[in-house]
């Protein structure tokens, strides 16, 4: 008798390289969702935007994580 434990899951991750806008290091990015990638160097989650070229923007999942800072003069 062949009994299966649990369900079969398919994992389909993309791995790409580029320069992280957060840590400014050349790094590898692993997809954790369709358009969300994680920098393996600093751990920042980035959202992939495609506007004629691919660029990565920091991903914010909660409005409480957004901070506005005025530039310092002088």
Letter string b/e over residues 11-23, b meaning 16 or more CB atoms within 10 A of that residue's CB: eeeeeeebebeee
β-partners of residue 31 are 37
**pLDDT in single tens digits along all 74 residues of the chain:** 566 677 777 778 889 888 888 899 999 999 988 888 899 999 988 888 877 666 777 776 676 666 656 666 65
Q: E strands of 1-74, at which residues?
A: 15-19, 26-31, 36-39, 45-50, 54-58
Q: What is the pTM of this model?
A: 0.61
Residue (of 29, 18, 26, 21) closest to 58 by Cα position: 21
Give the per-residue pLDDT at 40: 92
């Amino acid at each position: 008798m062949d009994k299966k434990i649990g369900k079969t899951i398919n994992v389909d991750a993309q791995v790409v390289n580029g320069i992280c806008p957060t840590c400014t290091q050349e790094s590898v990015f692993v997809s954790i969702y369709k358009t969300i990638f994680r920098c393996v160097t600093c751990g920042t989650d980035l959202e992939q935007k495609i506007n004629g070229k691919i660029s990565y923007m920091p991903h914010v999942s909660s409005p409480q994580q957004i901070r506005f800072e005025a530039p310092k003069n002088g």
